[in-house]
Structure 1
Amino acid sequence: MPSVRVAVAQSSISPDPRVNGATIRSVVRAAAAQGARLVQLPEGALSGYAKAQVRSWDDVDWAVVDDELDRVRAAAREAGVWVVLGSAHRLGAPHRPHNSVYVISDRGELVDRYDKRMCSHTEVSDFYTPGFESVVFEVDGLRFGVAVCIEVNFPELFADYERAGVDCVLLSAYPVDSVFATKARAHAAINCYWVGLSAPAETRELFASALIGPDGRCLAEVSSGSDLVVGDIDTDDPDFHVALDLARPWRARARVGDIYAERRVDDVRSRERTVP
């Protein structure tokens, strides 16, 4: 089975997309130097995130955002690295932008875009247009899904990715509390897949960006400041034999329910729940 080296970034985010673009390209080069095949960046990494760097979309120079995205695509092609990064994605007037994650291949091609589905009350009321589709893409034989920030509170999205057969969900965020990381680890352990958790340097006091294993353990995390961490998604790693080879297929069978239905008994002591 394949193995993919993933870099999870904890980059700083500026109100200026040109500064953000330069930061992202630096992260891409650093990830490639450490042998990564894919690098993940936080929510809003390119455009800035609403309420934090962006107070009004009228303040955003979309031509600059587009130009910086093109420069990032070129950097991905030059480094031979897949890039998964958050950014607002403008729509036609008068519609608000999507809160998106761009998926850029190691050839610099924009191969897909995930639009955040479960936006917060403030996001959907004042800043963003929601999306409605999941995204799954493949790198070197492994399957990746994408989720954004507050979606960590919707376990059905993570269960859908398990049914889609993903090996890793890339969860990019701009978090507001530390329990967020606990929830991400729980999704990894429950669904028996890796989770890449990328948050900006601005929220470093809450938790570190990390690669979480399919048993819920934090395998590698950023140590300090604006940085990135590199870890391997190795489906043959014996440390994850129980999670990948036993627990995940068993839970899939259990969800169907046949293994329980065929063991239903006709017994009065089973039917009558008030009988001691």
Structure 2
Amino acid sequence: MTANRNLKRRVRARAAKTGESYTTALRHFRSTLTGDVMPESRSLRFAVAQTTVREDPTSSAELRESGAELRRMMREAHQAGARIVHFTEGATCFPSKFVMSSQGPDQVGPSDWSRFEWDVLRRELAATTDLGRELGIWTVLGSVHQLSGQDRPHNSMYVISDQGDVVARYDERTLSTTKITYMYTPGAAPVTFDVDGLRFGCALGMDSHFPELFMEYERLDVDVVLISTTGSVPFSTMVANEALAHAATNSYWASLAVPAQHSPVAPSGVVPPDGEWVAQCDQDGSASLAVVDLGHSTPDNVTNLARTWRRRTRTALLERAPALDATS
């Protein structure tokens, strides 16, 4: 009972100091067998991949090629000791707006999703989840998610556990004009999941242009944000710069997964909270991996102190802001 009271006292003290909720503060502690409360030590080997993104979901062959490449990279990540591997947007397929257009192939119009080889995609996803269970590795990958009836699908990220279960799905929230006009249904909420004591958040496609989404993940106490994107080369370069900024200004790790085709300009990579690349994939247009160890050792390290300072400063700014004069 004494150890339990001491734990509660220390958690409440941390919550009062940092402005965190009790539940959030509790995450930073663990009980040892002796009953002492020690800082939680967290570390995880992580892999980010860049793979060839294919754009024709009416082609069974392309869907199978993407699935085979995904599974090959999963095996390589497992061999490197990774617990989780992160893939790009549209890793299973990133449907071309021209291929899917009901008015195509030369004009963009409403997408005809009946032409998508959904059965092939489901078989490839099943093979991928089976391999994740066999290897004991977590997998996060981009895929189109079919909805019922006439509803347009989501552009999504699947979170597949090391038991081979899809435990979460993030749907892109900030759709481009073409995506929201002709192709997809937007998502509505952030998604987080925990692996080995680290909390991950998901961002997809155009999300990288909206810092408020990344500030939201900071408030949700994530340790790592996984950013998956596909687009033109200039767009990938912009997102790479934004990934550095999001990591530095929110004091967490960021992983950026892009297509192998874009790697000569903006390869996939991992950014620590200091906002500098710590690892990047090959820049030769090939499928490859970058592997790093994520984590931090104490609840009072520089990363958490920076978060605490920013939260306290933002609160002070709001408190000092002059009230608007309704008569002016």
Question: Could you say whether these structures have the same fold, taking a TM-score greater than 0.5 normalized by the shorter chain as the test?
Answer: yes
Structure 2 Cα separation of the partners of residues 127 and 27 of structure 1: 29
On the 8 A contact 2:251/2:304 being kept in 1, the answer is no
Deviation of 1:221 after TM superposition, in Å, equals 0.2
In structure 2, what is the equivalent of residue 41 of structure 1? Answer: 87
In structure 2, what is the equivalent of residue 218 of structure 1? Answer: 277
Structure 1 Cα separation of the partners of residues 211 and 128 of structure 2: 32
Deviation of 1:106 after TM superposition, in Å, equals 0.4
Deviation of 1:52 after TM superposition, in Å, equals 8.0
Q: Which amino acid aligns with 1:7?
A: A
Which moved further from structure 2: 154-163 or 172-181? 172-181
Aligned residues: 260
On the 8 A contact 2:198/2:295 being kept in 1, the answer is no
Structure 1 Cα separation of the partners of residues 158 and 211 of structure 2: 22
How do residues 113-124 of structure 1 correspond to structure 2 at under 5 angstroms?
113-124=169-180
RMSD: 2.1
In structure 1, what is the equivalent of residue 142 of structure 2? Answer: 86
On the 8 A contact 1:208/1:222 being kept in 2, the answer is yes
Superposition TM-score, scaled by structure 1 size: 0.89
Share of identical aligned residues, percent? 42
Per-residue CA deviation, residues 25-53 of structure 1 (Å, 9 max, x unaligned), is: 11111000000000000001113344387
Deviation of 1:222 after TM superposition, in Å, equals 0.4
How do residues 133-172 of structure 1 correspond to structure 2 at under 5 angstroms?
133-172=189-228
Q: Which amino acid aligns with 1:183?
A: E
Structure 2 Cα separation of the partners of residues 52 and 212 of structure 1: 34
Q: 1:129 to 1:258 in 2, by over 3 A?
A: closer
In structure 1, what is the equivalent of residue 16 of structure 2? Answer: none
Q: Which amino acid aligns with 2:91?
A: A
Per-residue CA deviation, residues 192-245 of structure 1 (Å, 9 max, x unaligned), is: 0000100011222330100111111101000232111111112129xx943x13
On the 8 A contact 1:28/1:39 being kept in 2, the answer is yes
Task: Tell me, yes or no, if structure 1 residue 9 matches structure 2 residue 49.
Answer: yes
Deviation of 1:5 after TM superposition, in Å, equals 1.0
On the 8 A contact 1:73/1:104 being kept in 2, the answer is yes
Structure 1 Cα separation of the partners of residues 182 and 80 of structure 2: 40
Deviation of 1:99 after TM superposition, in Å, equals 0.1
On the 8 A contact 2:224/2:253 being kept in 1, the answer is yes
Q: 1:260 to 1:171 in 2, by over 3 A?
A: same
In structure 2, what is the equivalent of residue 228 of structure 1? Answer: 289
Q: Secondary structure at the match of 2:278?
A: strand
Compare CA radii of gyration and give the structure with the larger one. Answer: 2
Q: Which amino acid aligns with 1:234?
A: G
* Gaps in structure 1 of 5+ consecutive residues: 265-276
Structure 2 Cα separation of the partners of residues 52 and 23 of structure 1: 24
Which moved further from structure 2: 172-181 or 49-58? 49-58
Q: Secondary structure at the match of 1:228?
A: strand
Q: 1:49 to 1:204 in 2, by over 3 A?
A: farther
In structure 1, what is the equivalent of residue 67 of structure 2? Answer: 21
On the 8 A contact 1:173/1:198 being kept in 2, the answer is yes
Structure 2 Cα separation of the partners of residues 159 and 125 of structure 1: 27
Deviation of 1:175 after TM superposition, in Å, equals 3.1
Task: Tell me, yes or no, if structure 1 residue 192 matches structure 2 residue 238.
Answer: no
Q: Secondary structure at the match of 1:218?
A: coil
Superposition TM-score, scaled by structure 2 size: 0.75
Q: Secondary structure at the match of 1:257?
A: helix
Q: 1:236 to 1:53 in 2, by over 3 A?
A: farther
Which moved further from structure 2: 143-152 or 246-255? 246-255
Q: Secondary structure at the match of 2:202?
A: strand
Q: Which amino acid aligns with 2:78?
A: A
In structure 1, what is the equivalent of residue 168 of structure 2? Answer: 112
Structure 2 Cα separation of the partners of residues 50 and 147 of structure 1: 21
On the 8 A contact 1:50/1:127 being kept in 2, the answer is no
Task: Tell me, yes or no, if structure 1 residue 131 matches structure 2 residue 190.
Answer: no
Structure 2 Cα separation of the partners of residues 256 and 166 of structure 1: 20
On the 8 A contact 2:130/2:164 being kept in 1, the answer is yes
